[in-house]
Amino acid sequence: MANALLRTDDDFCWATGIEDTFIPQTRPGMRSLEEYTLTQHYDQWEEDLQRAASLGVRAIRWGIPWYRVEPEPGVFDWSWCDRVLDVMVNRFHLVPILDLMHYGTPLWLENSFINADYAQRVAEYAGAAARRYRGLVDVFTPLNEPMVNVDFCGRRAEWPPYLEGDDGYVKLLMAIARGIVLTAEALRAEQPGCTLLQVEALWRFTTSSEEHRQQVTLDNLRQYLCFDLCSGGFGEGHPLLPLLAMHGVTSGSLDWFAVHAVTFDIFGANFYPWSYGRLEPDARGRLRHAKPARPTPGGAIAEVIRDAWDRYHLPVMVTETSAKAPVEGRARWMDETIAAVQMLRTQGVPVVGYTWFPMMTMVDWAYRKGHRSVQDYLIHLGLFDSRFDEKGLLKREPTALVERYQNFVRTI
């Protein structure tokens, strides 16, 4: 495990991050969803890094926009990333947890993730990044939230390659998982001692409907599908094997993953208030999110972290958490989730870090399918709230959460 992130086995890493979703492709009714552009991070990156450093955190989750650094196949332009990562590490002394893939693919990669060359292309890009930033970066996330990626690209048809249903879902799953495996191999070929921090969105839902109980149980297991594949944990008894087999996944495909199984160093857990609750059937028998009687308690994060630990026996880092709420609601979520992490550590669960993410206001993904101006899609999840001024500058202003988080970082 890289000394830059965790200095000892008992160490704890406080972190924050910059929202870095990159969906540059457009089509009728769907705009580009490029968070660095929409939040003006390309222009304000230096000030954003200064804000992160002011929190006292050790690390920052930050992503490379692949579509920009490789504008043509095999042609790389690292100039902007070079400047940012140099300042991040050498001036502000922040450890980069480098997102190599935070959703979208380059514009030239026809059919995106299901392109026949995708896995090899993404591995070549990852290897080039690891080679270029050797000595500067040694903590990598091969692909952020693969099962969210699979859902939006393969089942909802909202992101390229715009597939639908479980058939599209499985196609995307297999392509993305193969890309993660080859990415991990490329990273370790360039930096044998690097830390692979693979991140997944976690959730837990229950239902009072006996008829739908098994369905909800299986849906909860879907969050682990990609990690299971990549780490060689997809044996004959896997409850979701029938889903894969029904959509053309052969034993030979699964054998490839078993042979190429990746040993990740840290499991990154992303968890938000909307990731937890009840699903109940509507009048047509379709499961819908039930309106909660009260806000999700932050302590719910302990349930999903313990499940991940019991399943994989890997150190767990909270790589994203925050709440879409006024400052008081975010403060409650911060207090309760940090308390839950402390409790787990006293119980012997190796939770090795906590990330408030995003650090500042981001643009809601609904912007992609919307028609209003970007200011109507600002969502305040962070420590800094952003507003457009009269000149169109998206100004970041500290909230009371900045001092609150600084106190946690300093005292725990």
Question: What would the mean pLDDT of 222-245 be, rounded to a whole number?
Answer: 95
Place of tokens 């998982």: 177
Write out pLDDT tens, residues 147-200: 999 999 999 999 999 999 999 999 999 999 999 999 999 999 999 999 999 999
Separation in Å, CA 175 to CA 147, 154, 182, 207: 12, 11, 11, 32
What tokens does 325 get? 């709420």
What tokens does 251 get? 């034993």
Give the pLDDT of residue 180: 98
Instruction: Identify whether the C-beta of residue 271 lies closer than 8 Å to the C-beta of residue 304.
Output: yes
Instruction: Identify whether the C-beta of residue 250 lies closer than 8 Å to the C-beta of residue 263.
Output: no
Give the pLDDT of residue 2: 40
Give the pLDDT of residue 282: 87
Under DSSP, the state recorded for 218 is: H
Closest CA to 264 of 335, 350, 185: 185
Give the pLDDT of residue 266: 98
Burial state string for 368-398 with b = 16 or more CB within 10 A and e = fewer than 16: beeeeebeebbbbbbbbbbeeeeeeebebee
Write out pLDDT tens, residues 121-146: 999 999 999 999 999 999 999 999 99
Question: What would the mean pLDDT of 313-338 be, rounded to a whole number?
Answer: 98
Residue percentage of the chain with pLDDT more than 90: 92
Q: Which parts of 185-226 are beta strand (E)? A: 195-201, 204-206
Write out pLDDT tens, residues 371-397: 999 999 999 999 999 999 999 999 999
The domain locations on the chain are 13-411
Instruction: Identify whether the C-beta of residue 39 lies closer than 8 Å to the C-beta of residue 19.
Output: yes
Closest CA to 207 of 198, 197, 218: 218
Give the pLDDT of residue 294: 87
Taking the mean position of all CA atoms in its chain, how far away is CA 183? 16
| Axis crossing angle, helix 301-312 with helix 327-346, rounded to the nearest 10 | 40
- Band of residue 286 on the pLDDT scale cut at 50, 70, 90: confident
Give the pLDDT of residue 139: 98
Give the pLDDT of residue 206: 93
Give the pLDDT of residue 106: 98
CATH 3.20.20.80 fits 13-411, yes or no: yes
What tokens does 391 get? 């000149």
Place of tokens 């050790």: 58
What tokens does 311 get? 């399943």
Question: What would the mean pLDDT of 68-75 be, rounded to a whole number?
Answer: 98
Mean pLDDT of the chain: 96
Residue 20 φ/ψ, nearest 5 degrees: -140, 45
Question: What would the mean pLDDT of 271-291 be, rounded to a whole number?
Answer: 90
- Band of residue 90 on the pLDDT scale cut at 50, 70, 90: very high
- Band of residue 317 on the pLDDT scale cut at 50, 70, 90: very high
Q: Identify the three-state secondary structure at position 252.
A: helix
Instruction: Identify whether the C-beta of residue 354 lies closer than 8 Å to the C-beta of residue 15.
Output: yes
Q: Is 355 left (phi over 0), alpha (psi -120 to 50) or beta?
A: beta
- Is the dihedral angle over the CA atoms 66, 132, 226, 276 positive or is it negative? negative
Cα angle vertex 120, ends 118, 124, to 5°? 115
Give the pLDDT of residue 58: 97
Closest CA to 172 of 191, 156, 193, 189: 156
Give the pLDDT of residue 29: 96
Give the pLDDT of residue 6: 86
Determine which of 16-25, 278-287, 316-325 has the lowest per-residue pLDDT on average. Answer: 278-287
Q: How far apart are CA 395 and CA 398, in angstroms?
A: 10
Residue type, 147: M
Write out pLDDT tens, residues 257-276: 999 999 999 999 999 999 99
Give the pLDDT of residue 1: 35
Closest CA to 23 of 205, 132, 162, 216: 162
